[in-house]
């Protein structure tokens, strides 16, 4: 038989994975490729099963492929286009006292349509000659290959650009200006714990009417210095953490502020490279925000590590939740009160995954004491940043809306400031219990007193309240040295400059404490912020005429 006659029908399988690839390509900057692994595997399995069933009936690969293709198209048509409108329309239609717009009726009806479509194609394809079957296979193979290549090229182009920028920027990374001097047997582990969107005591008291001083006192009793009027240098995560881990302002390191250009600066930060040169091992955690995940660290921790874990995760992943929201699956969220507890758990699994990731980091950090040191532990923990997923005892916060990593519709503008404040404070209460427990473990079990930095990357940006997006919590435990180098108005850009100077004999210059916002033209401008920090800290002056005056 000639090669032409042995053409392999690939198109039903390519059709099955196309929507997943397309959605991944649209969201490639926000989700990892592995997030679509299970969805693609399930759709591929669907196409294989329908192909196999048709093959049993027809004993012909080309007819079976056509049958699988049509059934898969019907599935996508119903799932993405028809199901939600039909559900809403039939909610108002009853027959014999039964409302037709119910999943118990619509799902079997959809299944019958799949069967009818399959039977019709099998019957119709009987009249196709072998040559016509091969022609259909050849044409549909070509069409679906092109369709799959379009999102694939988008994903590949992003990956290539990312690698190109990474390689280019690697050649221009900030140089290690000063080597650190250590004493044998007296090298502390360094724990840098970023609690995303953790604002200051003053903000919580002033804007949320919550007194957080008990946590501050607990840290101070354990030897911490807590900066009473700390603020971030930038109002968002990628700028703030990139700046702090490179001990410099972004404007001094790069002219490009898009994530692909900042990514190499974070992945190979000056702090990380300086400590690695000194003999430190870098430990990092999956955060749920790919930008801050140091996947090339000496040890990288993730609660979901393998393809098997992804396949067996008991509920929807974040990507799958997105898939549901752009399809007929959104009706599940609209009618969640009617669902069983098990089904509610399945569709709420992205929140569970979000919680699991935070709990995993909180559980794992204290266990790292037993790892041979010295260690630099970087943990970007997405709490108390919304979506709020913990009540004050660590239980699951009640949710009514589909998962969203940012601009959570459950709180904020959609429901008002009060529920937002309540969600934030409940999560703070739980988080602080865990942090104190971690601090106790690290202090008690470390052979050399560790350095522990607990810091917000930015404050609360919701609803434009004052300038609270710059006010952060910032606490330092640095044992065995004079800590007068720390002060109440410290900003993250100086964190490691001052700690390296105090512990390792470096001579980094303390930079001016400036806060910036990005203008419409993309350039950074200094901010004349009205802050809630106490009046005695009103003398924070930057270079030149720029002055930041706290609100009395």
**What does the alpha-carbon distance between residue 505 and residue 85 come to, in Å, rounded to a whole number?**
68
* Average pLDDT of the residues in 512-532: 82
Confidence of residue 182 (pLDDT cuts 50, 70, 90): confident
User: What is the average pLDDT value for the chain, to the nearest integer?
Assistant: 84
Residues 402, 334: Cα–Cα separation, whole Å: 9
pLDDT of 539 reads 41
List, in sequence order, every beta strand (DSSP E) within 382-532.
Answer: 451-455, 474-478, 516-518, 524-526
Contacts of 411 (CB under 8 A, 6+ apart): 386, 387, 388, 419, 420, 423, 424, 462
Query: Do residues 529 and 470 lie in contact, with contact meaning Cβ atoms separated by under 8 Å?
Result: yes
- Cα–Cα distance for residue pair 477/451, rounded to 1 Å: 5
State the helix-helix crossing angle for 417-445 and 201-208, rounded to 10 degrees: 160
Q: Note the pLDDT of residue 324.
A: 77
**Residue 287: how many CB atoms within 10 A of its CB?**
22
Task: Match 């959104």 to its residue by tokens.
Answer: 330
For position 549, what pLDDT does the model report? 30
**Residue 273: C-alpha distances to residues 22, 239, 441 (Å):** 37, 19, 27
pLDDT given for residue 460 in this prediction: 87
- pLDDT for 83: 76
SS3 524: strand
Q: List, in sequence order, every residue forming a beta bridge with 33; answer none if it has no partner.
A: none
Are 266 and 241 within 8 A, CB to CB? yes
Enter the DSSP assignment of 518: E
Question: Are the C-beta atoms of residues 257 and 239 closer than 8 Å to each other?
Answer: yes
Of 3-12, 26-35, 107-116, 285-294, where does the model show the most confidence? 285-294
pLDDT > 90: percent of the chain: 46
Lowest mean pLDDT: which of 211-215, 255-259, 526-530? 526-530
């Amino acid at each position: 038989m000639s090669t032409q006659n042995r053409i392999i029908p690939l198109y039903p399988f390519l059709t099955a994975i196309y929507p997943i690839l397309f959605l991944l390509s649209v969201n490639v900057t926000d989700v990892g490729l592995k997030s679509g692994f299970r969805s693609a595997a399930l759709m591929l399995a669907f196409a294989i099963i329908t192909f196999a069933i048709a093959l049993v009936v027809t004993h012909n690969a080309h007819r079976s492929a056509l049958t699988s293709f049509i059934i898969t198209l019907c599935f996508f048509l119903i799932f993405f286009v028809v199901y939600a409108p039909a559900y809403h329309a039939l909610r108002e239609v009853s027959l014999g006292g039964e409302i037709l717009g119910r999943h118990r009726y619509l799902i079997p009806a959809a299944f019958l349509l799949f069967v009818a479509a399959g039977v019709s194609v099998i019957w119709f394809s009987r009249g196709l000659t072998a040559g016509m079957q091969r022609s259909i296979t050849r044409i549909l193979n070509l069409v679906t290959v092109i369709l799959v290549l379009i999102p694939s090229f988008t994903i590949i182009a992003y990956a290539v650009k990312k690698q190109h920028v990474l390689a280019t920027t690697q050649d221009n990374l900030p140089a290690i200006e000063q080597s650190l001097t250590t004493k044998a047997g007296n090298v502390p582990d360094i724990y840098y714990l970023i609690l995303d969107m953790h604002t200051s005591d003053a903000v919580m008291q002033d804007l949320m009417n919550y007194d957080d001083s008990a946590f501050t006192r607990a840290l101070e009793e354990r030897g911490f210095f807590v900066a009473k009027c700390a603020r971030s240098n930038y109002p968002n995560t990628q700028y703030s953490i990139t700046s702090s881990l490179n001990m410099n302002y972004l404007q001094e390191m790069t002219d490009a502020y898009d994530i692909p250009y900042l990514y190499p600066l974070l992945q190979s930060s000056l702090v990380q490279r300086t400590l690695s040169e000194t003999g430190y091992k870098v430990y990092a955690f999956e955060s749920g925000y790919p930008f801050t995940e140091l996947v090339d660290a000496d040890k990288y921790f993730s609660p979901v590590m393998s393809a098997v874990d992804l396949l067996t995760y008991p509920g929807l992943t974040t990507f799958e939740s997105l898939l549901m929201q752009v399809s007929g699956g959104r009706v599940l969220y609209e009618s969640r009160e009617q669902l069983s507890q098990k089904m509610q758990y399945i569709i709420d699994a992205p929140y569970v995954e979000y919680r699991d990731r935070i709990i995993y980091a909180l559980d794992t950090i204290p266990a790292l004491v037993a790892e041979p040191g010295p260690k630099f532990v970087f943990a970007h923990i997405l709490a108390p940043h919304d979506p709020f997923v913990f009540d004050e005892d660590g239980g699951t916060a009640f949710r009514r809306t589909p998962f969203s990593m940012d601009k959570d519709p459950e709180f904020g503008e959609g429901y008002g400031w009060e529920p937002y404040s309540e969600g934030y404070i409940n999560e703070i209460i739980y988080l602080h219990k865990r942090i104190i427990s971690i601090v106790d473990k690290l202090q008690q079990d470390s052979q050399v007193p560790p350095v522990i930095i607990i810091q917000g990357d930015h404050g609360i940006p919701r609803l434009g309240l004052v300038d609270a997006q710059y006010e952060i919590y910032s606490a330092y435990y640095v044992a065995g040295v004079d800590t007068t180098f720390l002060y109440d108005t410290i900003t993250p850009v100086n964190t490691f400059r001052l700690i390296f100077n105090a512990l390792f004999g470096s001579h980094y210059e303390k930079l001016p404490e400036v806060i910036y916002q990005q203008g419409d033209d993309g350039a950074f401008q200094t901010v004349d912020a009205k802050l809630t920090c106490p009046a005695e800290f009103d003398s924070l002056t930057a270079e030149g005429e720029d002055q930041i005056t706290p609100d009395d």
